[in-house]
Amino acid sequence: MPATCDDRANSLIHIEKMFSKKSFFGIIFWLLLAGLSVTLVTFAGLYLYLSPKLPSVDSLREVKLQTPLRVYSSDGKLIGEFGEQRRTPLTYNQIPPLYIKALLSAEDAEFFEHHGVSLKGMLRAASQILKSGAIQSGGSTITQQLARDFFLTRKQIFSRKFNEILLSLEIERKFTKEEILELFNNKMFFGNRAYGLQAAAQIYYGKDVHQLSVAQYAMIVGVLKAPSAYNPLANLKRAMIRRDWIIGRMYELKHIDQATYEAAINEPNTASYHGTTLDVQAPYISEMARQEVLDRFGDKAYTEGYKVYTSVDSAMQATAQAAVLKGLLDYDLRHGYRGPELRLKPSEDAELIDWQDQLQSIPTLGGQEPAAVVDAQEKSLRVLMSNGDYIDLGWEQGLSNVRPYFTEDSRGAAYKTVAEFLKPGDVVRLTKDNDDQWRFSQVPALQAALVSLDPMDGAIRSLVGGLDFNQSHYNRAIQGARQPGSSFKPLIYTAALENGFTPASIINDAPIVIENTSTGVAWRPENDDGKFVGPMRMRQALYRSRNLVSIRLLRSIGMQTALDSLVRFGFNPKEFPRDLTLALGSHALTPMQMATAYASFANGGFKVDSYLVTRIEDDKGRIVYEARPKRVCKECEFNQLSYADDGSSIPATPSMDNNLRAPRIIDARIAYLIDSMLRDVVDKGTGRLAKQLGRNDLAGKTGTTNGPRDSWFSGYNPNIVASVWAGFDQNTLLGRKEFGTSAALPIWVDFMRTALEGVPDQLPRQPEGIVTVRINPDTGKPAMPGDPDAIFEVFLGEDTGRTSAAGTETSEQATLPEELF
């Protein structure tokens, strides 16, 4: 039957539809092909571009035993360790099979099936990228983890991920699966400075890896995911959750049976720290020693097992740190509570795991541990600690004396209830008192530094560079140059005594106006109390810290004379100002520099240089470095000749190599005079707080700079010299009631109280050429017979014939042209 028009039309439509479908699928096909081609070309380009830049995976075969650098105190106490723990490599056959099963259950169940990259893992990671727009987790195999941790960074970027894939494929090509597992378990970081499985077994359980249980294997494997978050020593609750999940995975994958599973899941935690414990916490000291050894030996210092012995006394170091912390906390208490460090968002988790996680990231500083307020009642407080413990504080546990901070000069009245200043989520600090009880506290905002030396050879006996090394590695004892203020005056007084002045010289404490011809601005220096007391003896002026007297002394002896004297103390004169502010300590110096200068007062006038490292031994105990400090030898100045039996003189055998003798920089008699004046600072002046130690051999000088901004006390006895600075890193104001006597001196006193415990008084021997004369305290001249106000004063022998005018400033001296200064 011939086709009708309708039939022909339907045929055409059918044909047209067929071609339309083919065109549609054809377009899709060509688009997919084009996309695939672009992808392949892109990946090929990336491979060609990145492949030559990738490191060689052959370096993974170089497994080395590494012994860390250890730093010791003078009495053999461990105070620092640098470098990785010794790795004890295991062959694949030495790795317990149950451990391997635990590892693969947690990290890479298909390890023996893939070729370095898991498609499932990559698809999971891709899904997360599509959902979040960023890399959330790597989907990484064990091979990829090995590649990432040793050749790349953990930064979540696409180029890193692509490099990781390329390296993993290369590792799989060059290494067997067993070799990869061997490398992984010998080189990966298991937290707490444990590198490798065997080290982890020792650190957490103190056992050989073959002695561990299934639960212990699971705990160690759990640490790998996040060595801080899943560390049983730092976060037991999360570590146990992770451990139990791994045990469950082992059972799910049929690596263990029901009985083993139940025994493992019910096994209590037995992890504890079995690694190296420092005997003394002295991070600033150990860092200084590390740097010195690094400068001498380079990077091998970290791996060759060097033992570094320092001059630090462990007991004195602990005393110094306790004194600094107490001083900072006392200042903080005087100035009020600044409020919580931060506020955590309300938690929907009854266990407060998210709060605990955040607390884990907040370091303990100066013994002040972070805690989150859970409940604040009228007279009590409940907080959550970073380890998951809950602590309840009563009203008398540091809460009753909390007063709000307003400014450096003012604080509010004490709060009447805890709820007035704290609420749930507030992050606060707790510290333990002498009775091991928790108390409410806060991290001090003030900083301080202390350094003590042996004045006979400059050996550093203790050093504290700040509140806490974890807060700031900035070592204020050797890097923090600040104006020393009046504690610098003894250096000017020494130069004055060397140039005709005596302790009895009368100097006028009266206003001075210094005109600056270039700016037209006049300088009108004042005393700390804003008052002037008129003529006074030089000794009085020092222990009462009169600024105008120091300025007049400097103006009288001349700038160049003063600078020449400072050079002998080891200072660089080019760094000092060439104006009268030098007399007030306007040039910034470090506590180490001040302690070194004061050592010359303590030892009778000799120059010593500070040093820390006494010797370095290699891993075989051989000495590879030994310090040769210059040492004070007062006896070497006397009896330079000895005599034979026949009476003839022969050269004496020197008691010390001349090259190792500290040079004398101050005449012994001048040193005796300045020492007697500095002892009066403690006995009668601004250092009177130190009298509570009940000693007669203490000397020193306070220092406070304008504001005040810096608080100092540098002082000594013949056995130890110590300098203390306190202030803010930002050089902000301390508060108008804070001086060297209130912020720095209490730290010095607390330190010396313990440092000199059991040490008898040791007054300096009066050298030849010193005479004692009765003088009138008002005139400084020899007292008339029967003068009821007469006092004794010490002089150089040659000055006794002119004590009537010794050191008195003449009108000619007082009008020296200002341009000389």
Query: Which residues participate in catalysis according to the annotation?
Result: 107, 486
- Triad 455, 460, 466: Cα angle to 5°: 125
**Burial status of residue 479 (CB atoms within 10 A of its CB: 0-12, 13-18, 19 or more):** middle
- Output the 3-class SS for 471-514: CCCCCCCCCCCECCHHHHHHHHHHHHHCCCCCCCCEEEECCCCE
Closest by CA position to 400, among listed 429, 427, 379, 370: 379
According to DSSP, the β-strands at 69-72 and 78-82 are antiparallel
Buried b (16+ CB within 10 A) or exposed e, 516-550: eeeeeeeeebebbeeeebebbbbbbbbbbbbbbbb
Provide φ and ψ at 633, rounded to 5°. -135, 85
Tell me 445's DSSP state.
S
Closest by CA position to 721, among listed 695, 697, 688: 697
Helix axes 97-107, 142-151, angle to 10 degrees: 80
Closest by CA position to 315, among listed 10, 757, 731: 757
Asked if residues 198 and 218 have their Cβ atoms less than 8 Å apart, the reply is no
Closest by CA position to 88, among listed 185, 214, 193, 220: 185
> Rg of the chain's alpha carbons, rounded to an integer?
37
Q: What is d(CA 362, CA 439) in angstroms, rounded to the nearest whole number?
A: 18
Q: What is d(CA 378, CA 417) in angstroms, rounded to the nearest whole number?
A: 5
Asked if residues 70 and 83 have their Cβ atoms less than 8 Å apart, the reply is no
- Triad 373, 375, 376: Cα angle to 5°: 90
According to DSSP, the β-strands at 307-310 and 69-72 are parallel
Two structure tokens written together for 203: 């650190």
Two structure tokens written together for 707: 């504001």
Buried b (16+ CB within 10 A) or exposed e, 632-654: bbbebeeeeeeeeeeeeeeeeee
Asked if residues 494 and 567 have their Cβ atoms less than 8 Å apart, the reply is no
Helix (H, G, I), strand (E, B) or coil at 816: coil
Asked if residues 483 and 585 have their Cβ atoms less than 8 Å apart, the reply is yes
Q: How far is CA 686 from CA 124, 507, 733, in A?
A: 72, 19, 21
Q: What is d(CA 405, CA 737) in angstroms, rounded to the nearest whole number?
A: 15
- Triad 702, 705, 706: Cα angle to 5°: 145
- Residue 276's identity, in one-letter code, is T
Spatial neighbors of 190 by CB under 8 A, at least 6 apart, are 196, 197, 199, 200, 203, 220, 223, 224, 227
Helix (H, G, I), strand (E, B) or coil at 411: strand
Q: What is d(CA 733, CA 745) in angstroms, rounded to the nearest whole number?
A: 18
Q: How far is CA 217 from CA 103, 211, 222, in A?
A: 8, 10, 9
Closest by CA position to 442, among listed 404, 414, 386: 404
Asked if residues 429 and 368 have their Cβ atoms less than 8 Å apart, the reply is yes
